[in-house]
Amino acid sequence: MTSKNYQPKPEHKFTFGLWTVGNRGRDPFGDATRPTLPPIKIVKELSRLGAYGVNLHDNDLVPIDATRQERDATVREFKKALADHGMKVPMATTNLFYDPVFKDGAFTSNDPRVRLYALQKTMRSMDLGAELGAHIYVFWGGREGAEVDAAKDPREALKWNREALNFLCEYSIDQGYDYKFALEAKPNEPRGDIYLPTTGAMLGFIATLDHPEMVGVNPEVGHEQMSGLNFYHVVAQAIEAGKLFHIDLNDQKGPRFDQDLRFGSESIKNLFFLVKLLEESYDGPRHFDAHSYRSEDEAGVWDFAAGCMRNYLILKDKARQFNEDAEIQSLLSEIRSTEADDGVPIGCYSRERADEIKSRSMDRTELAKKQLPYERLDQLTVDILLGVR
């Protein structure tokens, strides 16, 4: 039985972005409420809390206007901190949204010079990530979208995006970086509309790339919930397609602005099924892309980080309890039984098989009589989640 102190350990592969615990509480209506946390301090504190690693955008570590010497000194110090605290950098990404140059997009800017600059910035950032040991490279196109559809042709935007990703796949291969690319969708914010707004749209786009085998997805809980989607289903599809290369865990109060709340603070049942799914069929990092409430000070930030990992481990323990619950398991075998001894299920196509199915006598009234005790099953799940079972 899992110990009930829910102590995070590196083997759980919990990671945080430097930008997540480093979030200063700024929002569109108000300024920062907390001081800057230096990356080295973040590495130290997260290691103390039991995390496995940290992830970063290029400019979370190296300021956009740093000289080569400044960059190298910063990277050297950061690598030392990682080694001192036994922390990894499994994922890296590029900030293609903060600087005004990206005000109308990076890879999908109407201006080819901006697209080229975005490509240059990404290659340099891939170099940085590789130097830190990252093997997953995330693409979140926060500015890849539009408010004014008259201004940009979304078909062109898709072509430009594809051209950039194809180029960067070749760059990764040529440099021997061994990156897996993970595309992250979001329907809007900061743009009025962002292209490729859902993980499902990303999966369709990936199939059109030159190296689809190198490219998967990085779904984020809140981003799919902003579109009103069931995150558990989204991730299940990505896993089934062999495309879950990374995941951004957080929480969200329904379809509205992106809230990046502490994992497990809101959508308990959906995230329970998510954790159960991840534990069954995903072994990559469990990355928290969330931030503490604006009202917290630094101590609250560490409470937030500990809370994300704690909630994950609680839900993992609930999944174990669900799997070991005799009544639940017997309900599941009753619900899922097919009495499949007479040519059910469908099987592969053959003309004979098609003819046989078409001519079969099937009693739909009888089929409709099957008992489906979903109320009982769901209540047992709720009892487990509420801790009364």
The residues binding ligand GCO (CB under 6 A) are 93, 138, 140, 184, 186, 220, 248, 258, 260, 289
| Least Cβ distance, residue 153 to Mn ion (angstroms) | 27
Cβ distance to ligand GCO smaller for residue 188 or 230: 188
| Least Cβ distance, residue 221 to Mn ion (angstroms) | 8
> 231 contacts which partner out of ligand GCO, Mn ion, none, CB within 5 to 8 A by kind?
none
- The site that binds Mn ion (CB under 5 A) totals a number of residues, namely 6
Query: Which of 143-151, 201-209, 248-256, 335-343 is the region at the interface with Mn ion (rule: CB under 5 A)?
Result: 248-256
| Least Cβ distance, residue 23 to Mn ion (angstroms) | 11
Cβ distance to ligand GCO smaller for residue 16 or 322: 16
Does 57 participate in catalysis according to the annotation?
Answer: yes
> 129 contacts which partner out of ligand GCO, Mn ion, none, CB within 5 to 8 A by kind?
none
Selecting among 12, 27, 31, 57, the annotated active-site residue is 57
Q: Of these, 45, 144, 220, 266, which contacts Mn ion (CB under 5 A)?
A: 220
- Give the number of other Cβ atoms within 10 Å of residue 112's Cβ: 9
> 138 contacts which partner out of ligand GCO, Mn ion, none, CB within 5 to 8 A by kind?
ligand GCO
| Least Cβ distance, residue 5 to Mn ion (angstroms) | 29
Beta carbons of 172 and 164 less than 8 angstroms apart: no
Beta carbons of 137 and 126 less than 8 angstroms apart: yes
Q: How far apart are CA 366 and CA 362, in angstroms?
A: 9
In terms of Cα–Cα distance, which of 30, 6, 3, 49 is closest to 264? 6
φ, ψ of residue 301 to 5 degrees: the values are -65, -40
Structure tokens at 220: 């984020």
- Asked if omega into 190 is within 30° of 0 (cis), the reply is yes
In terms of Cα–Cα distance, which of 86, 3, 92 is closest to 51? 86
Cβ distance to ligand GCO smaller for residue 130 or 247: 247
Cβ distance to ligand GCO smaller for residue 50 or 222: 222
Selecting among 58, 60, 104, 258, the annotated active-site residue is 60
Residue 165 DSSP label: H
Q: How far apart are CA 349 and CA 354, in angstroms?
A: 7
Q: Of these, 58, 144, 248, 251, which contacts Mn ion (CB under 5 A)?
A: 248
Any idea how long the chain is?
Answer: 389
| Least Cβ distance, residue 109 to ligand GCO (angstroms) | 17
Cβ distance to Mn ion smaller for residue 45 or 224: 224
Does 135 participate in catalysis according to the annotation?
Answer: no
Residue type, position 91, single letter: M
The 3-state DSSP class for residue 30 equals: strand
Residue 289 is a binding residue for Mn ion (CB under 5 A): yes
Tokens 């001894």 belong to 341
Output the CA–CA distances (angstroms, integers) from residue 117 to 100, 112, 120, 180, in the order listed: 13, 9, 5, 22
Beta strands 145-146 and 193-194: pairing type? antiparallel
> 266 contacts which partner out of ligand GCO, Mn ion, none, CB within 5 to 8 A by kind?
none
Q: How far apart are CA 180 and CA 284, in angstroms?
A: 12
- Asked if omega into 285 is within 30° of 0 (cis), the reply is no
Cβ distance to Mn ion smaller for residue 199 or 381: 199
Query: Which of 112-120, 283-291, 332-340, 350-358 is the region at the interface with Mn ion (rule: CB under 5 A)?
Result: 283-291
| Least Cβ distance, residue 367 to ligand GCO (angstroms) | 45
Q: Of these, 60, 144, 258, 266, which contacts Mn ion (CB under 5 A)?
A: 258
Output the CA–CA distances (angstroms, integers) from residue 177 to 127, 173, 259, 292, 299, in the order listed: 8, 6, 33, 33, 37
Residues classed as catalytic: 57, 60
Q: Where do contacts with Mn ion occur on this chain (CB under 5 A)?
A: 220, 222, 248, 258, 260, 289
